Amino acid sequence: MEEKDYKYLFNINSPEDLRKLPRAVLPQVCNELRNYLIDTVTQTGGHFGAGLGVVELTVALHYIMNTPEDKIIFDVGHQAYPHKILTGRRDELKTIRKKGGLSGFPKIKESVYDAFGTGHASTSISAALGIATARDINKENYRVAAVIGDGSMTGGMAYEAMNNCGFQKRKVLIILNDNFFSIDKNISAFSNYFNKVFTSNTAMTVRENLWNAMGKMSSGDRLRKFASRLEDSIKAIITPGVLFETLGFNYFGPINGNNIYKLVDILEKIKDLNGPAFLHIMTEKGKGYLPAEEDKQKLHAIGMPISVTDKVDQNNNELNSYSNIFGEALTEICEQNSKVVAITAAMADGTGLNILQKKYPEKVIDVGIAEGHAVTYAGGIATQGIIPVVAIYSTFLQRAYDSIIHDIALQDLQVVFALDRAGLVGEDGPTHHGTFDMAYLRTIPKMIIMAPRNGRELRNMLYSAVNLYKGQPSSIRFPRGKTTTVTNEAFQEIPCGKSELLLAGTDTAIIAVGSMVKTAMKAAKLLKEYGIFTEVIDARFIKPLDNDMLNDVFSRFSTIFTIEEGQMIGGFGSAVAEYAYEVKYKGDINIIGLPDRFIEHGTQKELLTECGLDSQSLADKVKNVLQNILK
Q: Which residues are catalytic?
A: 285, 371, 399
What is the length of the chain? 631
Diameter over CA atoms, the chain? 99
Q: How far apart, in whole angstroms, are the C-alpha atoms of residue 516 and residue 536?
A: 11
- The three state secondary structure string of 525-586 is HHHHHCCCCEEEEECCEEECCCHHHHHHHHHHCCEEEEEEEEECCCCHHHHHHHHHHHCCCC
Count Cβ atoms below 10 Å from residue 356 Cβ, excluding itself. 29
First to last CA, the chain: 63
| CA torsion angle 204 206 210 213 (round to 10) | 110
322 in Cβ contact with 425 (< 8 Å): no
Displacement of CA 479 from its chain's centroid (Å): 15
Q: How far apart, in whole angstroms, are the C-alpha atoms of residue 220 and residue 212?
A: 9
Residue 508: strand pairing partners = 534
Residue whose C-alpha is closest to residue 101's, from 600, 610, 615, 562: 600
404 in Cβ contact with 419 (< 8 Å): no
Residue 15: strand pairing partners = none
Q: E strand or H helix at 47, and its extent?
A: strand 46-47
Q: Where are the alpha helices (DSSP H) in 74-123?
A: 81-84
Cis amide linkage into residue 68, ω under 30° from 0:
yes
State the DSSP code for 481. Answer: S
418 in Cβ contact with 333 (< 8 Å): no
Q: How far apart, in whole angstroms, are the C-alpha atoms of residue 102 and residue 356?
A: 36
461 in Cβ contact with 419 (< 8 Å): no
Q: How far apart, in whole angstroms, are the C-alpha atoms of residue 513 and residue 442?
A: 14
- The three state secondary structure string of 403-431 is HHHHHHHHHCCCCEEEEECCECCCCCHHH
Q: How far apart, in whole angstroms, are the C-alpha atoms of residue 206 and residue 70?
A: 29
Q: How far apart, in whole angstroms, are the C-alpha atoms of residue 426 and residue 392?
A: 18
Q: In sequence order, which residues have a C-beta less than 8 Å from that of residue 476 and are 6 or more positions away?
A: 416, 417, 418, 419, 450, 451, 452, 458, 461, 462, 465
441 in Cβ contact with 403 (< 8 Å): no
Q: How far apart, in whole angstroms, are the C-alpha atoms of residue 355 and residue 461?
A: 19
Long-range contacts of 136-143 (CB under 8 A, 24+ apart): 136/170, 142/66, 142/69, 142/70, 142/71, 143/65, 143/66, 143/70, 143/71, 143/171, 143/173, 143/271, 143/272
Q: How far apart, in whole angstroms, are the C-alpha atoms of residue 516 and residue 523?
A: 10
Strands of the sheet with 172-178, listed across from one edge: 71-74, 144-149, 172-178, 276-282, 250-256
What phi and psi values does residue 420 have, to the nearest 5 degrees? Answer: -75, 160
